């Protein structure tokens, strides 16, 4: 199978699965068009399940063990018992990549509550459904990495952490989807969400960072954010470079008046933000620290450490 090239890596993957794509489904590799869940699966009916978005670079899976540990932590929080071990799912992930001939890919690993009766009682589901999808990388368009993107702030408030802990990477993404709709209607590809206190939380699919007076700042976990694995990698890269790093509560004015702003995520990697709510951030161009960290991230993933 043809490998994705740097030129094609930034293209959107097709809406339909590639005909010869294989999906790891409950222990077996099956053609994508046969990898189907029941209409009685509680992951479909109620968003009851957990998932991880993972990246592979040059045939190696970035932070695979860390992703799987987070998957199991999310499952424990919702009292979902995953019927495989970390090692088994790691092997399955690598096998799925190899079977599809993909060296650079986006990986979606999902565990649903499984088939059960109608009604939200999760303990009426006997066996969780587990599947692994590998596909071409979905990234923002290259010009946005070169010149930056513009975002807007959603009116939809991030889920209260006491109602649904954002650190649980669950299939229930309606909160994010509603904010995403606001952004799309405003002509933006990403949307910033505030928490119940009006503090900056995160974007619909990415963590947010700002640079202010030489410091790198990002919202703390108590602001209601997912503890992003790319977020943590970038924090480490910044510290290694001698940058002053702080996790700090911030409000919109902090973002409006920042010297630089960028987002991080598994698919996004590190992408500069040059405007928010029709206000220019910094010089209106990707900032030097943003570019430095993006380059450092690319050097890191060249080796794709698995843990």
Catalytic residues: 169
**Cross-strand pairs, 276:** 151, 279
Element (H, E) at 43: helix 42-46
Instruction: Tell me the C-alpha to C-alpha distance, in Å, between residue 24 and each of 2, 82, 157, 171.
Output: 20, 15, 36, 18
Give yes or no for a contact between 159 and 178, defined as CB atoms under 8 angstroms apart.
Answer: no
Rg over CA atoms, the chain: 19
DSSP class per residue in 90-148:
HHHHHHHHHHTT-SSEEEEEEEE--B--SSS-GGG--S-EEEEEEES-----HHHHHH-
Cα angle, residue 78 at apex, residues 112 and 166 outer, rounded to 5°: 100
The 10 Å Cβ neighbour count of residue 123 is 8
Residue 67 structure tokens: 């992703």
Q: CA-CA distance, 82 to 68, in Å (whole number)?
A: 11
User: And the tokens for 259?
Assistant: 């010297």
Let me know: does 113 contact 41? Beta carbons within 8 Å.
yes
Task: Please name which of 133, 85, 87 lies closest in space to residue 110, comparing C-alpha atoms.
Answer: 133
Closest CA to 61 of 2, 9, 13, 102: 102
Helix axis angle, 86-99 relative to 64-77, nearest 10°? 130
């Amino acid at each position: 199978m043809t490998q994705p090239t740097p030129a094609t890596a930034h293209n959107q993957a097709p809406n339909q699965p590639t005909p010869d794509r294989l999906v790891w489904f409950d222990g077996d590799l099956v053609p994508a068009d046969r990898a189907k869940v029941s209409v009685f699966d509680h992951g479909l009916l109620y968003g009851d399940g957990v998932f991880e978005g993972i990246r592979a670079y040059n045939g190696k899976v970035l932070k695979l063990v860390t992703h799987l540990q987070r998957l199991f932590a999310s499952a424990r929080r919702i009292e979902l018992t995953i019927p495989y071990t970390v090692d088994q799912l790691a092997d399955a992930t690598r096998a799925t990549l190899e079977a599809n001939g993909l060296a650079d890919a986006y990986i979606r690993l999902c565990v649903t509550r499984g088939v059960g009766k109608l009604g939200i009682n999760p303990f009426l589901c006997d066996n969780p459904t587990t599947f692994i999808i590998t596909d071409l990388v979905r990234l923002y368009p290259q010009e946005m990495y070169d010149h930056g993107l513009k975002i807007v702030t959603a009116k939809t408030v991030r889920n209260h952490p006491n109602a649904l802990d954002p650190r649980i990477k669950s299939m229930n993404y309606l909160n994010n989807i509603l904010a995403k709709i606001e952004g799309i209607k405003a002509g933006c590809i990403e949307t910033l969400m505030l928490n119940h206190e009006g503090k900056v939380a995160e974007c619909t699919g990415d963590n947010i960072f700002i640079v202010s007076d030489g410091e790198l700042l990002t919202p703390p976990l108590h602001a209601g954010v997912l503890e992003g694995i790319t977020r943590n990698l970038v924090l480490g890269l910044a510290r290694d470079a001698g940058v002053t790093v702080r996790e700090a509560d911030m409000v919109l004015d902090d973002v409006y008046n920042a010297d630089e702003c960028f987002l991080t995520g598994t698919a996004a990697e590190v992408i500069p933000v040059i405007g928010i709510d029709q206000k220019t951030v910094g010089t209106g161009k990707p900032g030097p620290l943003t570019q430095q960290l993006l380059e450092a991230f690319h050097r890191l993933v060249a080796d794709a450490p698995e843990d």
